Every structure is written in C-alpha cells, then in structure tokens.
C-alpha cells in the first residue's frame, strides 16, 4: 500500500474508531504521537504539506493492512509507532504546545 493509499484510508471517524477500540492495547506511547498530529492537522495554521504527512501517517495507523498486523501480541503496533514517530519528526515545528496539551489531556482521560 503506498502513502497515497494510506492517506485515502484516513477519515476523522475512522481515526477515533481505531483509537477507541485499541487504546488500551496500543498504549499511550503509540497514541501520543497520533493525537499530537491529529490536533495539529485540525489547526488551520498547519501548512498543507504537514497535514498531508500527518494524514498519511494516521491513515497507516488506521489501515488494517500493516507491515506487522496489529493483532500480533507485543509487536503489533511497533510499525505504527515507527510511522507515527517518523511523521511527527517531519512535522514537529507545526505541533504547538496547544496540540501537545490537548493530546496529554486526552491520554489522561483514557489512562488515568
């Protein structure tokens, strides 16, 4: 599946559905970069190229077709984590303190 295919797999509803179904299994370490980028993508100040990068990474996270299937115990989310962290590094200058705070708050709601 190409980056373009992963971007087309992204939708806000599919993102939240995946996060809600697999939050505990994926863990906060995987969800933190996903949430930071989600909130950055929602921001009108984030440039189009950064949003495209984010949507591609979140599309990969959502997609049931992975390099390592998410149902694989212990390592199922390592590929997702790698893609998310790589994308986050590429768009880091566009992830604001507000985006980080929103992600942290959401993680506290789910994991506290």
> What one-character-per-residue DSSP string does 30-61 give?
HHHHHHHHHHHHH-TTS-HHHHHHHHHHHHHH
Closest CA to 110 of 49, 4, 35, 15: 35
In this prediction the pTM is: 0.78
Across the chain, mean pLDDT equals 85
- Structure confidence by residue, pLDDT tens digits, 34-81: 999 999 999 999 999 999 999 999 998 888 776 666 555 556 678 888
Question: What average pLDDT score do residues 21-42 get?
Answer: 88
């Amino acid at each position: 599946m190409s980056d373009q295919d992963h971007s087309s797999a992204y939708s806000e509803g599919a993102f939240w559905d995946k996060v809600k179904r697999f939050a505990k299994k994926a863990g906060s370490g995987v969800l933190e970069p996903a949430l930071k980028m989600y909130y950055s993508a929602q921001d009108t100040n984030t440039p189009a190229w950064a949003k495209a990068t984010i949507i591609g990474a979140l599309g990969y996270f959502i997609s049931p077709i992975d390099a390592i299937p998410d149902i694989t115990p212990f390592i199922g989310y390592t590929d997702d984590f790698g893609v998310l962290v790589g994308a986050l590094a590429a768009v880091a200058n566009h992830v604001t303190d507000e985006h980080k705070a929103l992600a942290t708050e959401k993680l506290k709601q789910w994991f506290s």
